């Protein structure tokens, strides 16, 4: 079985993928992951997950061009300029 | 070249990184397997010259440090073979090809370790040469390989310190100890100069074409000389190459290394090749029952 190993380097940080190991079961997987990723106390914690349990998702199409929930959907520069000019507060 | 391969080539040459599940041309996959498998083999075979010194290390501290280094290198082999497995070649097949003499491993691991001085030179200079290649692999177009390189480089940095500490201790010792280091350096200089491979131009190197490697062989060698020749000289050691010097434009000149010897050695005709492969083969057979038991219990 292939197990994916995620490690957290310091408390509070996100777990990041570290690599994978082949092991017959979770007990062996834990023992080997400890050797590979923890023997120098370089990890705060590990997640060991059977590869089969991971659902991978790709491709995030945006057919409707839904820019309203992204920062690039709001180009305020030109509008702000116009508003300042109208209010008479534009830098000269 | 078909349109898909062309697009892929442009992607990797432009710095793009490929994941295991992505489509890739067969040639790219084959080159990756060849390159990464050789790296894995080198980590695994590289511990044998050092293993011979675990029982003869001069102090308990040195013995523990050397044992830890051996564990690190075998751990690297495991990580690297995993990457090869995900590309389609099982680890068992890699090991079989290795012991059958069908696969290559790095030139420096085909030579004997005559004295404790050799152990110091290996850990300091061979690991220094290796870390130059491995740091360049952090930018490899195949992302899973680039990712494990971070851990590998991190651990190699301990090895260089360990090696340098061994060398400095010997150099601060008796004149016999200094001689031991000089003799070891004389033995290892040739293999170190061929370590990064023949000076094939980057544009002719298929590994550079696919950006598996991002550094030309000669570039790596120049970087090694730049970093380590001064460190060798400052200890009062002599580099066994009277032509070695840095020119005014910053390029290192040296006596042409023995490329024929490199070719002979990596094709399985080094002084220790047969003996070390035999050692691996014996242990592979001897420990087959462990794999059988563990895998049978899991099934």
- Average model confidence (pLDDT) across chain B: 95
CATH of the domain at B175: 1.20.1260.10
Specify whether the CB–CB gap between B128 and B227 falls below 8 A. yes
Distance CA B112, CA B158 (A): 23
What integer is the mean pLDDT of B282-295? 92
Task: In whole angstroms, give the CA distance from residue A40 to residue B158.
Answer: 11
CB nearest B82 (choices: A21, A35, A39): A21
Residues of B in contact with A1 (CB under 8 A): 298
pLDDT band, very low/low/confident/very high, at B295 (cuts 50, 70, 90): confident
Q: Is-contact B152 B79, C-beta < 8 A?
A: yes
Helices B217-233 and B175-194: crossing angle in degrees, nearest 10, is 170
Give the C-alpha separation, B289 to B108, whole Å: 32
List CB contacts (< 8 A) between B79 and chain A. 19, 36
B174 secondary structure, DSSP code = -
> What interface predicted TM-score (ipTM) does this complex get?
0.78
| Token digits of residue B268 | 């399985």
| A24/B85 touch (CB, cutoff 8 Å), yes or no | no
Q: How confident is the model at residue B299 (pLDDT cuts 50, 70, 90)?
A: low
Q: Which domains does chain A have, with CATH numbers?
A: 2-53 (3.10.20.520)
- pTM, two decimal places: 0.90
The secondary structure element, H or E, covering residue A8 is strand A2-8
Q: Which residue has the tokens 């399985």?
A: B268
Give pLDDT tens digits for B203-213.
899 999 999 99
pLDDT single digits (tens) A10-64: 999 999 999 999 999 999 999 999 999 999 999 999 999 999 999 999 989 888 8
Q: Which domain holds residue B242?
A: 3-298
Residue A90 has pLDDT above 80, yes or no: yes
Strands A16-22 and A2-8: antiparallel
Q: What is the pLDDT of residues B103-157, one digit of tens each?
A: 999 999 999 999 999 999 999 999 999 999 999 999 999 999 999 999 999 999 9
DSSP B266: I
Structural domain count of chain B: 1
B150 close to B24: Cβ distance less than 8 angstroms: no
Cβ-based contacts of A22 with chain B (< 8 Å): 82, 85, 91
Structure token pair of residue A46: 């590990």
Nearest Cα residue to B52 out of B66, B42, B72: B66
Q: Do A18 and B151 touch (CB under 8 A)?
A: yes
């Amino acid at each position: 079985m292939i197990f994916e190993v995620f490690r957290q380097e310091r408390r509070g940080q996100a777990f990041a993928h570290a690599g994978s190991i082949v092991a017959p079961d979770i007990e062996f997987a834990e023992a080997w992951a400890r050797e590979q990723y923890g023997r120098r106390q370089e990890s705060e914690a590990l997640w060991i997950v059977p590869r089969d349990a991971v659902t991978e998702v790709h491709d995030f199409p945006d057919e409707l061009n839904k820019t309203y929930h992204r920062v690039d959907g709001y180009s305020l520069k030109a509008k702000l300029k116009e508003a300042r000019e109208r209010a008479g507060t534009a830098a000269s | 070249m078909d349109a898909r391969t062309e697009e892929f080539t442009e992607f990797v040459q432009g710095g793009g990184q490929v994941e295991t599940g992505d489509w890739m041309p067969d040639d790219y996959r084959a080159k990756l397997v060849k390159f990464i498998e050789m790296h894995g083999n080198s980590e695994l075979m590289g511990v044998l010259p050092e293993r011979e010194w675990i029982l003869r290390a001069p102090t308990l501290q040195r013995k523990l440090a050397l044992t830890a280094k051996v564990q690190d290198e075998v751990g690297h082999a495991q990580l690297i073979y995993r990457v090869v497995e995900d590309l389609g070649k099982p680890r068992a097949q890699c090991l079989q090809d290795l012991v059958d003499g069908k696969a290559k491993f790095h030139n420096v691991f085909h030579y004997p370790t005559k004295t404790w001085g050799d152990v110091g030179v290996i850990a300091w200079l061979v690991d220094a040469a290796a870390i130059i290649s491995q740091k360049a692999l952090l930018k490899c177009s195949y992302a899973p390989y680039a990712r494990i390189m971070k851990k590998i480089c991190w651990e190699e940095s301990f090895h260089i310190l360990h090696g340098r500490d061994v060398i400095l201790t010997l150099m601060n010792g008796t004149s016999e100890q200094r001689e031991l280091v000089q003799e070891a350096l004389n033995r290892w200089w040739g293999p170190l100069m061929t370590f990064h491979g023949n000076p094939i131009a980057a544009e002719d190197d298929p590994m550079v074409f696919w950006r598996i490697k991002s550094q030309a062989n000669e570039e790596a060698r120049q970087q090694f000389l730049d970093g380590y020749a001064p460190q060798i000289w400052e200890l009062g050691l002599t580099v066994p190459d009277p032509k070695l010097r840095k020119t005014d434009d910053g390029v290192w000149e040296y006596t042409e290394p023995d490329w024929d010897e490199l070719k002979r050695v990596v094709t399985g005709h080094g002084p220790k090749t047969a003996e070390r492969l035999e050692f691996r083969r014996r242990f592979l057979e001897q420990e087959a029952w462990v794999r059988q038991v563990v895998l049978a219990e899991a099934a």
